[in-house]
Structure 1
């Protein structure tokens, strides 16, 4: 991989160029197959035509026989929504460039529309415009898909159904069935009925055939929650999607989730839990406005740990790669207000892990294992949000534990001095 920087090395520590130089130096140090070269086009005018330069400061990534991607100086920064200061996003741009050069195939991700789903074009707190940007930054192509009006395209690498509130027609369900049966990949994200709507029955029957069971319930977990007991900080399993997040202690937060269970299916699928509640968590069917008084009902509720997201894998005869379906019991965690800490500053539960949890799920479904990682985070103002258990622990230590400790020490000192 050849990286040519069309300027001299920067000597200004406050500039984006200087930070880009540091980053490129790290790349070169870590991988001996990465070559970084600086060419000043003023000193070497021939570089302008050789690299087809349009702006001073361009960074040209070249791989193989002339395959190139360019990063411009203006692409290295964006404006912080918190402080209005420029934020350096060079690592994200460089990573996108390398993915573009190295990816042997182009993945196309379709988001269904026509059933009240969350919208990719919506830039408000309830939209998915950040998700679209994140996917495109990792070289995925992102498009809308109206299954009523068109067949599922042959280039569909993944179909995402994000929080539908209207039923899918039998005609659409048949198309989805045929897609998965031929080795397709499907990601379904449900909102809780407390948040938007009742369970989509037609889609529920479809998922039941593939081994997923859902209920019109919501999750309460006082041992691992923030703000209120239905804002769940999930427990990671050892699934490939969550392994790096678990090792890096990067936490996500599901805003109002429902349970997702696995069971018998007609396609011989194998299932793995991705995230769960703690053993103290449980699912509840009875809606209540006083969550502090909610109690587990063994007749209708599911005791913890309750699965909140499950992956299903299906071997398809005649195909090398298996079909895969992942179902989440929450869609709100990928909305703009909750997936981006800056956008969600007024909400206080925009966890850094929300983005990684979603992006790792996409990478897992597409078998793009190199993209299952913890992504670079921007320096910004963030609030520290503690779970109820953590808050109580700190309170007991500060209000009871420390005073008692110093009291005991004082008594011991007094006693030994008297002796």
Structure 2
């Protein structure tokens, strides 16, 4: 029995060391770490059982006044610690010492939170054993929101352990946040929350801006109804292939947008609840009846987004001319700063400053267009200035050396060559147009983009393609300026620790306490030996 006692103690020390190593490598939720914890617990129970008589003597026979007072001190210290923890949890007071005040909420956010009276679920999808600065920032900021209003119910969901739940909410990224209420739900991607300036590498924190805007869209603003035009070979919203647009539809739904299909040949009138019509690369001609319905819709203050390609049918010009623009069959060829591996028709356009493009310009972002067409504006004398006033804003342009190739033979043979008949650069690739009727002062908003494939399933997640697209959509839906919260910048420049490195630092921080306790036990044991030796000398 004595040999077993001596064997169990070093075994316990070894098991603790193994636990520390497993925790650093895999974290506390891995199956190997859990088995190791269980083994440690069993060894500890074994030590107590084998040394039961010694433990019994300590509490019964050797329970001196000094030991009793020491035990009372330990109990009081534990009780005070628990009391302080409960007190600190009940007091809603925290100080933000972060660079840039990342967790300090603005008055706009506090005002919105004070008005929330119905329950809002906030589901944060993050693996329990995964941690990094971005995920921690999102979690801590959400907790600040929850502290301000008890109607916000916050829950962390592990998408690995709760796979079915992640599929139900269409979660594809760790760090995604779902805001859900009786009015609906909105999913926020972590890519919207933290950004990075490409030039300075500074991290840009948009958490408060994004979360407050999301809550306002969910609780205050009504969902917007967007209709996708069908019947002319337009984009297929249900196609999940590389060249389909199923991902775009999924992302738009996450923006509190209700999407419906619209076929004007089968519908007497455009629905009254229509906030925006998306016309994505129609390859067949519009009938006169359809064009009249769209014209009436614009005159009544409707909004339209037109997306073009080289094969777009020419009857689209009837709609474009109502926005002061028109389209000639062309394909843009870039002769400067193009990507050799992708060809001269792959365009990385320049941004023109506007409220739509400012967020992209300020963070030095780019968008990627696999091929696009140039859009032209009507001469002043061809605009219907008697009935309408026009504000035409270019958003994207090519370089000066680019041109719009119009020779079909050269395009089909892939042997394009610039000549006098081509459209000279720089060419505009996207426009935002505001048209107002002079008699009734009714405003219509029209967006025109000279590419469709830049937001298909293959390209939508490249660079900032979707960010530009959704900025334009929100502007067309009159959602601009709803929340005036500026992003925050910290002094940290892309610094990130892996989960194992973070756990290693935790152990290093905890190690001094362990060494202090070991030293204390060693001193107690040494003193005990000295006392025993003195007693023997006296005897």
TM over 0.5: yes
SS of equivalent to 1:326: strand
SS in 2 for 1:142: strand
The yes-or-no answer on 1:93 pairing with 2:187 is yes
Partner residue, 1:63: none
Name the counterpart of 1:359: 470
Q: How many Å apart are 1:6 and its aligned residue?
A: 9.7
Q: In the alignment, does 2:368 pair up with 1:253?
A: yes
Counterparts in 2 of 1:156-305, with a 5 A limit? 156-192=274-310, 197=311, 199-226=312-339, 227-263=342-378, 264-266=382-384, 267-287=388-408, 288=410, 294-298=416-420, 300-305=421-426
Tell me the distance in 1 between the aligned counterparts of 2:441 and 2:360.
Answer: 29
CA drift at 1:337: 1.0
Q: Higher strand fraction: Structure 1 or Structure 2?
A: 1
Are the counterparts in 2 of residues 188 and 328 from structure 1 also a CA contact under 8 Å? Answer: yes
TM-score, structure 1 as length reference: 0.67
Secondary structure at the aligned position of 2:469 is classed as helix
Structure index of larger Rg: 2
What secondary structure is seen at the aligned counterpart in 1 of 2:371?
Answer: coil
Instruction: Give the 3 Å change call, closer, same or farther, for CA 77–174 of structure 1 in structure 2.
Output: closer
Cα distance change on mapping 1:213 and 1:99 into 2, 3 Å? same
Q: Does the C-alpha gap of structure 1 residues 286 and 365 become closer, same or farther in structure 2, counting only changes over 3 Å?
A: same
Superposed displacement of residue 370, structure 1 = 4.7
C-alpha distance in 2 between matches for 1:291 and 1:305? 24
Contact 2:406–2:423 (Cα < 8 Å) also in 1: no
Question: Structure 1 residues 252 and 128 mapped into 2: Cα distance closer, same or farther (>3 Å)?
Answer: same
Q: CA deviation at 1:252?
A: 0.7
Select between 366-375 and 152-161 the one with higher mean Cα deviation.
Answer: 366-375
Aligned: 1:334 with 2:334: no
1:401 corresponding residue in structure 2: none
C-alpha spacing 1:153/1:295, structure 2 compared with 1 (3 Å): same
1:323 aligns to what?
444
Structure 1 residues 210-259: Cα deviation after superposition (integer angstroms, max 9, x where no partner): 31121111101121433111010011001222111111122111221111
Distance of aligned partners of 1:103 and 1:132 in 2 relative to their CA distance in 1, 3 Å threshold: farther
Q: 1:14 aligns with which of 130, 152, 157?
A: 130
Distance 1:25 1:77, change over 3 A: farther
Counterparts of 1:17-36 in structure 2, within 5 Å, are 22-27=137-142, 34-36=145-147
Q: 1:75 to 1:228 in 2, by over 3 A?
A: same
Note the residue ranges of structure 2 that are not aligned, 5 or more in a row: 1-112, 158-163, 179-185, 189-210, 488-539
Q: Which structure is higher in helix share?
A: 2
CA apart distance, 1:352: 2.1
Aligned in 2, Cα 1:313/1:160: closer, same or farther, shift over 3 Å?
same
Please say if 1:154 is aligned against 2:272.
Answer: yes
CA distance in 1: counterparts of 2:482 and 2:368, whole angstroms: 21
Classify the secondary structure of the residue corresponding to 1:367: coil
Contact 1:180 1:323 in 2 (8 A): yes
Q: Which piece of structure 1 moves more, 91-100 or 171-180?
A: 91-100
- Tell me the number of residue pairs that the alignment of Structure 1 and Structure 2 aligns: 323
RMSD over aligned CA atoms reads 3.8
Q: Following TM superposition, by how much is the alpha carbon of 1:338 offset from its aligned partner in structure 2, in angstroms?
A: 1.1
Once the 2 structures are TM-superposed, how far is the Cα of residue 12 of structure 1 from its aligned partner?
4.8
Residue 317 of structure 2 aligns to a residue whose secondary structure is: helix
Q: Distance in 2 between matches of 1:210 and 1:221?
A: 27
CA contact (8 A) 2:391 2:434 kept: yes
CA offsets 1:126-159 (integer angstroms, 9 cap, x no match) = 2111111111111011111011111210011000
| CA displacement at 1:202 relative to structure 2 | 2.1
8 Å contact kept, 2:314–2:327:
no
TM-score by structure 2 length?
Answer: 0.53
* Structure 1 segments unaligned to the other structure (5+ residues): 40-49, 59-71, 81-85, 341-350, 376-419
Distance 1:225 1:303 in 2: 17
| Conservation of the 8 A alpha-carbon contact between 1:76 and 1:93 | no
Of residues 248, 273, 281 in structure 2, which corresponds to 1:131?
Answer: 248
Q: Which one of 426, 429, 434 corresponds to residue 313 of structure 1?
A: 434
Structure 2 contact 405–411 (Cα < 8 Å) conserved: no
Partners of 1:145 and 1:218 in 2: CA distance: 29
Which residue does 1:416 correspond to in 2?
none
What's the offset of the Cα at 1:353?
A: 1.3
Shift, 1:206, TM fit: 3.2
Q: How does 1:60-99 map to 2 (within 5 A)?
A: 74=166, 87-90=174-177, 93=187, 95=211, 98-99=215-216
Contact (CA 8 Å) 2:374, 2:428: kept in 1 or not? yes
- In structure 1, C-alpha distance between the alignment counterparts of 2:276 and 2:481, rounded to whole Å: 17
1:117 aligns with one of 215, 229, 234:
234
Q: Secondary structure in 2 aligned to 1:188?
A: strand
